[in-house]
Amino acid sequence: MTTVDPGALAYEERGPVDASRLVLLHGFTQNAGCWSPFDDALAPYYRLRLVDAPGHGASGHERADLVDAAWLLGLVGGRSDYLGYSMGGRIALRLALDSPGLVERVVLIGASPGLLDDDERDARLERDLALADRLETLGLEPFVDEWLAQPIFATLPPSAAHRDARRRNTATRLASSLRSLGTGAQEPLWDRLGELAMPMLLLVGTDDRKFASIARDMADAVGSNAEVALVQGAGHAAHLEQPDRTATLVLDWLRRVR
């Protein structure tokens, strides 16, 4: 694990040194060790920079809201292609909006621009805060089991859930991340999507109907530079449920829009 300075996010790298860089940012409760075997299919073609998000892994000491998390991601990623999953996708989206000069192309897996309705967002924030309290009360290992037992992960095989890697986080730091980076705390970005000019791939599993609908609405809002790709036989964590299919979609798209 490497950091560029004490105030930056931690990351690890793999892949050819002289290849184009692709920065990957994971979802909530995960860390940079939760991409396998999806990243194995990408590593022969790209210099992967696998980043630990604020409050996670070796970046557990970092506390940041979505704006600051995006700034930290840009600091450690530089001008690159970016791929973010769920929470990591929301951070990558914010980076693309705030610092478009750093984002050459962006892939979002199961990500959202936030909640437009004020009441819905307030209710989600209340649930996120309660969930953070439960995490601290319950402890990390039981919470991870509860988190993965949600219906949204019903199609995620236990062998692909990376439980051991998730358990290398800490309850206090994950709770802090949830309070500041949860969907309830996020400023909705729907009205800014038309600003995005870089190529964008919105990738979602066919069984993840909620986020498939979000992806289609996002593509309409962004414009012709955004595409939606569906991963057959996958749910929310498409890259873990169908790693080969997902990697093929990502690699083919990156080659095509270069």
Digit-coded pLDDT (tens) for 112-132: 999 999 999 999 999 999 999
What pTM was estimated for this model as a whole? 0.97
CA distance 47 to 87: 22
Q: Is the peptide bond before 37 cis (omega within 30 degrees of 0)?
A: yes
The average pLDDT across 81-86 equals 98
Half-sphere exposure of 133 toward its Cβ, with a 13 Å CA cutoff? 6
Give kind and range of the element (H or E) at residue 181.
helix 171-181
Residue 54 has pLDDT above 70, yes or no: yes
Confidence of residue 6 (pLDDT cuts 50, 70, 90): low
> Would you list the domain boundaries of the chain?
11-257
Other CB atoms within a 10 A radius of the CB of residue 242 amount to 22
CA distance 18 to 26: 24
Give kind and range of the element (H or E) at residue 24.
strand 21-25
Give kind and range of the element (H or E) at residue 21.
strand 21-25
Residue 253 has pLDDT above 70, yes or no: yes
CA distance 42 to 33: 15
CA distance 179 to 134: 12
Residue 108 bridge partners (DSSP): 84, 202
Amino acid identity, position 89 = G
The average pLDDT across 44-72 equals 95
Residue 175 has pLDDT above 60, yes or no: yes
pLDDT for res 92 = 98
Query: What mean pLDDT value characterizes the chain?
Result: 96
pLDDT for res 8 = 86
Confidence of residue 5 (pLDDT cuts 50, 70, 90): low
Residue 4 has pLDDT above 60, yes or no: no
Q: Which CATH number fits domain 11-257: 3.30.390.50, 3.40.50.1820, 3.40.50.620, 3.40.250.10?
A: 3.40.50.1820
Lookup: tokens for 156: 């995620």
Are the beta carbons of 202 and 152 closer than 8 angstroms? no
Residue with tokens 């990243």: 39
pLDDT for res 133 = 98
pLDDT for res 258 = 84
Residue 176 contacts by C-beta under 8 Å, 6 or more apart in sequence? 55, 63, 132
The predicted-structure confidence for 10-30, as pLDDT tens digits, reads as follows: 999 999 999 999 999 999 999
CA distance 80 to 77: 6
